[in-house]
Every structure is written in C-alpha cells, then in structure tokens.
Amino acid sequence: MNRITLSPRIRMTPFHDRTVAAGLSDITVYNKMVMPTSYGDLKAEYDRLINDVAIWDVSVERQVQISGPDAAVCAQYFTARDITNMAEGQGKYVAMCDHAGRILNDPVLMKLSGNRYWFSLADNDMLLWCKGIAAERGWDVEVIEPDVSPLAVQGPKAEDLVAESFGEHVRELKYFWFIETDLDGIPLVLCRSGWSKQGGFELFLQDGSRGNDLWDKVVAAGEKYGIGPGAPNHVERVESGLLSWGGDNTPDSNPFEVGMGRYVDTDTDVEYLGKAALQAVVAAGGPERLFVGVNVEGELGEAWPLPERTPIMLDGEQVGTLAAIVHSHRLDRTIGLAQIKRTVVEAGSTVEVETPEGYKPATIQKLPFL
C-alpha cells in the first residue's frame, strides 16, 4: 500500500526531472508537493552527507513572502521572537503561533529588505494563515507564495563547492545569513542553512523554469567533491535533534514543547500572535512536556520512520509520545525523539517505548545526540 497516486493536486518540483534521472525511489508529500526522501540506498546517502556533500531537492520548503509598507509589523505579528534588530540579509529560526500560543510552523524567517520578508516553511499552509489575518487586519501588504524553490547542498564539502561556484566571500556568511545572487544568470538567494547539522547551503531558485539548469551546474561543480543525490536524512536528523514539525509534536504543542524555547521572546514589548499564552507558560514554571532524546535498549534493524507516533509509558501510564526511532550509525545504538512530560524528564525516570520488538526501557537525554 506504499504506492502513491500522483495527480495535479500534488505539485511537482522544478528539479523533478533531474531527481528521477538520479534514481529517485521514494517520496513523500509535503506542503502539497512531491518531496524526494530516498534514492534507494539510505546508508550511502547518510555517508555522503556525513563525509562529502549531497544535493537535496527541498523545493517543498515553500516561502510565504510578505511585502509592502506594513511588512515589518506584519512579519513581527506572525513571529514569536523579537525581530526588531534583524538585519537585511539575515535569517532567524522562529516559531509561528496561533492566538493560543500553539506552534503552527517552525520556519526560517529571512529579511530580504525592510519591506520584504520570507517565511521558509515546514509542512503547514502559512500562506492561508498569513493571507487571512493580514487581510482582516487591513495591513498594506501583499502575501504570496513566490516562485522560489530551495535546492540544498549539505555536508562538510558543501562550502568548498559553493565557494568555487559563487566566490570565496560566501565563506564569510554566518548561519542563516544569505545573499541575493545568481549562478551564470540563474537568479537565486544563497543562504547558509539546511535541515542537517553537517553544514551547507540552500540555493533558493527564483525561477522555476531553470530547475534543470541549476541542478546540472551544482552537480558538475560538485563532482570532484563526490556529490550525489540525497534528501533530508532521517537518521542524521534524529542524531542532530532536528524538529520535524507536525510529525514530532502533537497538534496542541507550544514552542517550548518542541525544543524552541530559546527562540521565543516573552520578555519583550513587541506584539505577536500567542504572546500572552506563551508568557503564561513561562509564568507557570514551564511547559507540560519537553522535546527530548531517548536511548532505547536493544538493537533496531529498521531505520525507516515510524508511520505513527507511539505512546511512551511509565508505570503503566502514558507520559509521552515517540515520534522517531532509528539505529544511529555514528553512535551505534538505538535512539529516538519524543515529547515527554516535564516532570518525568526532570525526575530522570527510565521510560518504556514501543519498538518493532515490543516495549523496551529507554533513558531520556537532552538533544542533540550529536
């Protein structure tokens, strides 16, 4: 039953032809778009990411662009973090919350100019959210999904590759900072970012008709670095404790419950959605749950995502949910990502998690693992 029916309801990416030519074997649907997940050899894809450089089609990271005279106040309203002092060319990892402080997305917010911002999104339709609220507020902004499709190069050799293609100055880019540039006339935004902890860049293609050209140029430049196709890597992201919003968390989670506390400003004068609710969480001493790692006893053969979150138990009572469980290649043990009651985490309890071989004891630890 793992065969998917494609239809115009699910969009293709600008790099689709090249991903198929590269041997694409597995996909998912993310922001109503085809997202490559594997080219058939997960371990080789992992090794490439850890040791060399991988090319990832992450077009599904759609942008919501907010532009116009009220763009700054509008972008701030949607962001649970004080962005007053953000510079042009800077990006920040932020939480977007609803009126009750529940997290709706964990994008990178990019400030292209004082009146143009991009939210570079996880899998939830912030275009609907932002368009509706901005219109109700009567703000003088345009809210659109621009023709922008990120292509990532990730891994320790990504910087050499990018420096060779764009110039040595890109080595100076700080994390989440970006420049508007082009590659032989292909317009793009180059950002030091990507959904791994192995370093790298994302090339935000600004012309969907040039996908094949951009892919080919990156692959040609990367050949000497051993570039090959890959995708956001499930094992590496668990090792690195990277949040998969919507998968790792229950829908009622606040940002503190997905490990984003350090990116939330509650002691600020700026106004944003959910602020009062988030202040109340802080005043109450913290959230109900924490986003943590679990070290699970025993060997795990299967490194593929859990199809559903499973319960985490303590003394016969559910105290959390497990969202991912993998065999870590570098740690050579079984690890997972979970939301667990704060009191249980703080007590250092050993919990029980469901595995393909039944319930197993697991210790809790802070993220990341690596």
Q: Which residues bind a second copy (CB under 8 A)?
A: 1-12, 19-20, 24-30, 32, 36-38, 98-99, 104, 123-125, 128-129, 131-133, 135-137, 244, 246-248, 304-309, 323-324
Provide the minimum distance between the beta carbon of 155 and a second copy in the complex, in angstroms, as a whole number: 21
Provide the minimum distance between the beta carbon of 119 and a second copy in the complex, in angstroms, as a whole number: 14
For a second copy, the closer of residues 25 and 84 by Cβ is: 25
245 and 95 Cβ atoms separated by less than 8 Å: no
Which residues, other chains included, contact 269 with Cβ-Cβ below 8 Å and sequence gap of 6+?
none
The Cα 50–Cα 43 span in angstroms is 11
Contacts 24+ apart (CB under 8 A), 175-179: 176/90, 176/91, 176/92, 176/93, 176/108, 176/110, 177/89, 177/90, 177/91, 178/89, 178/90, 178/91, 178/110, 178/204, 179/89
Provide the minimum distance between the beta carbon of 106 and a second copy in the complex, in angstroms, as a whole number: 13
Provide the minimum distance between the beta carbon of 194 and a second copy in the complex, in angstroms, as a whole number: 19
For a second copy, the closer of residues 21 and 347 by Cβ is: 21
Provide the minimum distance between the beta carbon of 132 and a second copy in the complex, in angstroms, as a whole number: 5
Provide the minimum distance between the beta carbon of 308 and a second copy in the complex, in angstroms, as a whole number: 6
End-to-end C-alpha distance for the chain, whole angstroms: 35
Angle between helices 158-166 and 211-222 (to 10 degrees): 110
For a second copy, the closer of residues 150 and 274 by Cβ is: 274
Dihedral over Cα of 119, 123, 128, 132: its sign = negative
Helix residue ranges per DSSP H, 188-319: 211-222, 234-240, 275-283
For a second copy, the closer of residues 124 and 328 by Cβ is: 124
Provide the minimum distance between the beta carbon of 146 and a second copy in the complex, in angstroms, as a whole number: 13
What's the one-letter identity of residue 130?
A: C
Provide the minimum distance between the beta carbon of 224 and a second copy in the complex, in angstroms, as a whole number: 28
For a second copy, the closer of residues 91 and 107 by Cβ is: 107
For a second copy, the closer of residues 105 and 266 by Cβ is: 105
Which residues, other chains included, contact 7 with Cβ-Cβ below 8 Å and sequence gap of 6+?
none
- Per-residue tokens: 2: 């793992």
For a second copy, the closer of residues 165 and 328 by Cβ is: 328
Dihedral over Cα of 193, 196, 197, 198: its sign = negative
13 and 33 Cβ atoms separated by less than 8 Å: yes
For a second copy, the closer of residues 3 and 301 by Cβ is: 3
Burial readout 97-113 (b: 16 or more C-beta within 10 A, e: otherwise) = beeebbbbbbbbbbbbe
